[in-house]
Structure formats: C-alpha cells, structure tokens
Amino acid sequence: MKILIVQDQLRSGGTERQSVLLANAFAASGHDTTLLTFRPGGALADTVASAVTRRVLQPFDTRFDWFAPRLYRGIAETGPEIILCMGRMANCYAGGLQERFPAAAVIATMRTGKKLPQLFRRSLGIVRQVVANSHEARTHLVESYAVAPERVSVIHNSLVFSPTPESGTRVKLRANHGATAKTAVLLCVAMFRPEKNQRELIEIVANLPAELDWQLWLGGDGPARATCEKLVAAKALGARVRFLGWQRDPSSLYVAADLAVHASSSEALSNFLIEAQASGLPAIAYEAQGIAECFVPDDTGFTIARDDRTAFCQKIVELAHADSSAQAGRAERARQFARATFDHDQQIARYLALFSRLIPEQRS
C-alpha cells in the first residue's frame, strides 16, 4: 500500500509521537510510507526511520501550523492510496483532500476533547473514515457531530514507551532529585500547553497535608511552563516541584515515580497515562473524554470530578499510604491491562486492516 501521513509539525506532543510510530511501523511492514509535515524541524524530526519518505512543505519555519504551501501538488506527486490525517490542522484539510483526491481513502482522526474548528467538522462529513482513539470519542463523534457509526473506527493509541528498567535506576534517579524511599513521587509527562493543565496540578499539590513527604515531577516543555514556574515560586513549592524538561524517552521517570497524576480536561486518550500504566504506576486524573479507558477504573486508576481538588488530594494520600502488597498487586494489574490493550503490534494491525478494507472500496 502507498500510505501518506499528514501532520503539521513533529513537535514533542503525543499526537506527533503517534504519527512517527505509525509511519515507522507501516514502513517496517513493507508499505510505501510518506510522512508529510507543513513545518520543518521539531523535536521528533530525527526519530523518523530512514525507510519512511519525508516531505516538508514550508521551505523555512514560518511558525504557522496551518500554512501548507503546495499541499495538493505534494500529494499528487506522492500518489497515495491512503491519506491519514493526524492533529487538528491536518484534519482541517482532510475534507478538501478527499474532494481533490477521490481515488484515495482519506482518514480523519479524533484525538482531542476540545471543541473542533469548523473546517475539522466539515471534514468529518466528507472523509471515507474517522479513527477515534477511544470509545468515548467515537460516541462523541456520533452524537455531537452526526457522523454515521459505521464510518467511525476505534483504534487506541499505541504504547510508545514500555520500560524495562536497569537495576538501580529508580534509586539513583530519586536520589538525584532529593527523594527518599519514603517520598511519594507524583509524575506528569506532557507538553506545557494550557489544555494540559499542569497549573492545576500545582494548585492541587499545594493543598496536600504537611506531614506527607511528596514531590511533583513535571516532564516536558512548552509555552505554559514559565507560568507554572512562577506559580511554584509564588506558593514556595520550589523544594517540592521539579521541572525536568522535555524527555526524549521518559522511561526512567516512570520507573522512579510512584503515582501518575493528570489534570487535563480536554484529552481523548492520554499517552502519558497508558505509558504510566504499562510501567505499573497507578493513575489519578480528572474526568475527561476517554480518560477512564486508560486504566482499570477504581482499581489501577481513578477519575476525579473536574476541579475537585479536595478529592484529588485525598486519593493521592490514600494511594501514597497503601501497603506494599496492595501496591504491588495494583502495579501488576496495571501493566497487564496496558500491555494487552495498547499493544503496538495490535494497533498497527488494526490500522492496516482498516486500510485494506478501504482501498477496495475506492477501486470499486
């Protein structure tokens, strides 16, 4: 198959990591795969496998995510049978691509709980198929955007990182950040963007009881980081909160932490939470579209009503004080669930099966 993946830029976000993972896997399976981006560069640009053809539309980085010069010409030259649109900007173009290239099967993707732009909504009614990365996202597409149920497939995110730690990694990394064996290390790995809501996590931990020994580790970078750093300083939490920067591979953080915490209200499925589960970390997260599908509810992960900081704090304290046997059992169930549900090979096979089904439809 000739497969084209469209993405605005290869920045360090979860959707971008999924784009690279899919492109590399399709190429490794023997398919003619092209990854096209609007903007050049990005933190993940050098993680694309050599077997994947790269096309970049902007001759230099204009910093406009929506600017896709010569998009139609580039796709015509590629001649794909499948066009998979990843991210909001690419999905805004998806409907126009289907109209311009009716011989190709254009597939939109639903990976967000945020309100969709008008062009994105238009695309949903034109493309051949929509892939939702959670069952809740599929329901939202059907009920809120009137997409026919048979035109929506659910394919979960694939695990990008599933750590197998070296001996001593946990102890060494915790010691580097001043955490002892008794410290409850809370972890969130995500880009610093307003919708990821690290600011809310800082507000939550500021209310933890004084007697609890805790640290909050924030892995990632982005435009909202400076605001979060100012908030930490204002609340005198500098000894407790660690800003760890962008992580090319966050596996060691998962190994060293005790709890995964997540306060975003606009996710459709969280790469961070499924990776944390695969590492055996219990999760605490605000309710949002698809979040409860990242873990076994009320067992390996817990959802908290939005903005209920008191309940969030109580759950942190409860899990931090759980006995070791309960922690070990929960960790093993989390690993089993995540590695069975979000297995890389399983998700790739589902995409390829969908593509194979759509191509005969296009040729008929």
pLDDT tens-digit profile, the chain (364 residues): 999 999 999 998 889 999 999 999 999 999 999 999 999 999 999 999 999 999 999 999 999 999 999 999 999 999 999 999 999 999 999 999 999 999 999 999 998 878 899 999 999 999 999 999 999 999 999 999 999 999 999 999 999 886 665 657 888 999 999 999 999 999 999 999 998 999 999 999 999 999 999 999 999 999 999 999 999 999 999 999 999 999 989 999 999 999 999 999 887 789 999 999 999 999 999 999 999 999 999 999 999 999 999 999 999 999 999 998 999 999 999 999 999 999 999 999 999 999 999 997 655 4
The whole model's pTM is what?
A: 0.91
Rounded Cα distance between 193 and 152, Å, is 28
Judgement on whether residues 216 and 250 belong to the same structural domain of the protein: yes
Q: Is there a single domain that holds both residue 224 and residue 130? A: no
Q: Express the helix, strand and coil content of the chain in percent, nearest 5 each.
A: 45, 20, 40
Domain count, the chain: 2
* pLDDT at position 168: 77
Looking at the structure, tell me whether residues 83 and 216 fall in a common domain: no
177 and 218 in a common domain: yes
In this predicted structure, what is the pLDDT of residue 163? 65
Classify residue 244: in a domain, yes or no.
yes
Which pLDDT does position 209 carry in this prediction? 96
Check whether residue 214 and residue 119 sit in a common domain. no
Same domain, 336 and 348: no
Asked if residue 163 belongs to a domain, the reply is no
Are 105 and 225 part of one and the same domain? no
**298 and 191 within one domain:** yes
Q: What is the pLDDT of residue 55?
A: 97
Domain harbouring 225, CATH code? 3.40.50.2000
* Residue 164 domain-assigned (yes or no): no
CB-based contacts of 30, cutoff 8 Å, min separation 6 = none
Q: In terms of domains, do 292 and 195 share one?
A: yes
> What is residue 207's predicted lDDT score, i.e. its pLDDT?
96
Angle between the N-to-C axes of helices 225-234 and 198-205, in degrees from 0 to 180, rounded to the nearest 10: 10
Regarding whether 326 and 178 lie in a shared domain, the answer is: yes
- Provide the residue range defining the domain that includes 328: 169-341
pLDDT number for residue 334: 96
